[in-house]
Structure 1
Amino acid sequence: MSNPLKIAVLGFWHVHAGDYARQTEQHPGTDLVAVWDDDLELGQAGADRFGVPFTDDLDALLARDDLDGVVVTTATNVHRDIMVKAAAAGKHIFTEKLLAPTVAEAEEIIAAADDHGVKLIVSLPRLYHGYTQAIREVIAGGELGQLTYGRVRLSHDGAVPTDEGEGWLPQRFFEAKPAIGGALTDLGCHPVYLTQLFLGADPDQVGAIYRSVNGRGLEDNAVVTLGYPDQKVGVIEAGFTSRNPFTIELFGTQGSLTYTEAGNALHVTSSASGGEPRQVPVPEHGTDAFAQWVEHITTGTRADDNLARAVELTRLVVAANQAADEGRTIAYQAP
């Protein structure tokens, strides 16, 4: 194993490919050495941007003895094929979400990584942000009582037309086969895994409404509703058609919690503390997923929690897409 680890970026399909390439350059434990893409124009532009060699021969790249790991930022529909091949070659894998289009494929990727001793982690960044930790502590402390309702909204303006064109989000994000889905499947992943973290990954009903404000092929405006056996309700909102502050709202039998990224402000009101609202300090972000991946590689440990949450994220996104496609609330089978 190299020191620093030699890493290649596989695919510049995703808009975050450049961010992860930059992170690979900046982390003291990793070194960006190559870019691969089956889209020659995207791949060459990415390689030129970071001053590393480009190749369109994936097999030759994965056969390199001096390559330790890969960052996968290809189209979602080829994740399984790419990652199973990388695992078989003994290359550690950091990947953009979704892990795969289906639960079966996600589990196949994880099994391949385990079988070949490869360290795999999925980019679920908001799990490790400071507000997430603070909210978990409030829930655990019982100030809200029994949770009854939760709402998480995340949106950006990537599909809003500008004078220059259709918007900054590439049209490939609205192509059904490579993208798998639109706003919910991409940006909505963050509200999904946070809702699962706060309310639980075991709803028994899932409903969804998808709309395309700008008509680019897939939904750019989405709302998913979750019903739980203990009667609480979860609401997940995602969109490419407005830039609003990221917000989290949780309500319970004894109090309420609101978080907004505007001012990084977390407020809690609880009958247990007299019903007066108070601002809760938000700590610094924890270790991000990329740095955790490097640590798992160097220490030989497994990202158990991350991988379990990645599978449940996939399961719920698949269910939401089904509910939206069928135009009805569907029964949800948690594992």
Structure 2
Amino acid sequence: MADLFVPSLDHLRQAYAVTSRATQITPLLESAALARETGAARVFIKPESLQWAGSFKIRGAYWRLKQLSADEAKKGVVAYSSGNFAQGLAAAGQALGIPVTIVMPIDAPAAKRDATAGYGARVVLTDHGERAREEVAAAKAREIAETEGLALLHPFDDPEIVAGQAGAGLEALDQLAAKDASADLLFCSVGGGGLIGGVSLAFHYLSPATEIIGVEPEGFNGMGSSLAHGSIETMPIGPKSICDGLMSRRPGDAPFAAVKTAGVRGITVDDQSVRSAMRIAFERMKLVLEPSGAASLAALLGGKVDVKGKTVLVMATGGNVSLADFITHMNDGLK
């Protein structure tokens, strides 16, 4: 992994200048209905679910691949991921002609496995049993890197990944300015912390008055707990969450350094509130979000944060969900 540092604003802008050639600008949608429902002055949703490969992950993946040496790029890379980084890295590798191997837990959603392979990546599955699935997959990725001479990439614990993901924040800031708006509050979901690390830095540098809320599933609030206690903590292995992309037990060192700099605080959401948010996104905004992608919207709707009279930005981070799973979540949300 690259040496630990907190990327500067110039570094974030340099990364965005490169990644914007390979990504699309996702829209900034305003919802008067959500503003009325929550009491906010204005509510904006940035659906990174509409990004190439279905999530923000291609931003950081593409920038990280551009940092490889010519020899590393020729041999290829290996990483572990439950799905969205897998797809983002595979898509970026396909665009750059770099071979990609992805180690995925055997219980990762089939739609994400198939999509990753569809971008030309080699997919290796791991069976973790009672162990933490990310630890088993990470160990297998290290083994492959050593035996095959591939560059080992981390899905979130890398300052360059943080810098690449910041493009979503820089883009949102430009879009808010074009609408004569600035965000009082920003909700962003947290797995290992790559996205919130980058987005929080962008706002820290350019909109320091914005309060940033990191949103995690119950039982997987490693970032929130770490921020509350001032050092990185690892959560115990517990029940699963429907937010499969947010089931990291601890934040990465690089994202943690970024969010500490930006003054982020954390809250949690339960599965039922996430299902409800998925339904509202679909019915009110015509957005198809996976559970992990709807967690930040669930936090806005959950009432744990006072948003009355404030301008709110919600990062809707991913939409990689099969039709069957989406329907199941919709039906479960009615129970």
After TM superposition, the score normalised by the length of structure 2 is: 0.32
Q: Is the radius of gyration larger for structure 1 or structure 2? A: 1
Greater strand percent: which structure? Answer: 1
Structure with the greater relative contact order (CA < 8 A, sep ≥ 6): 1 or 2?
2
Greater helix percent: which structure? Answer: 2
After TM superposition, the score normalised by the length of structure 1 is: 0.32
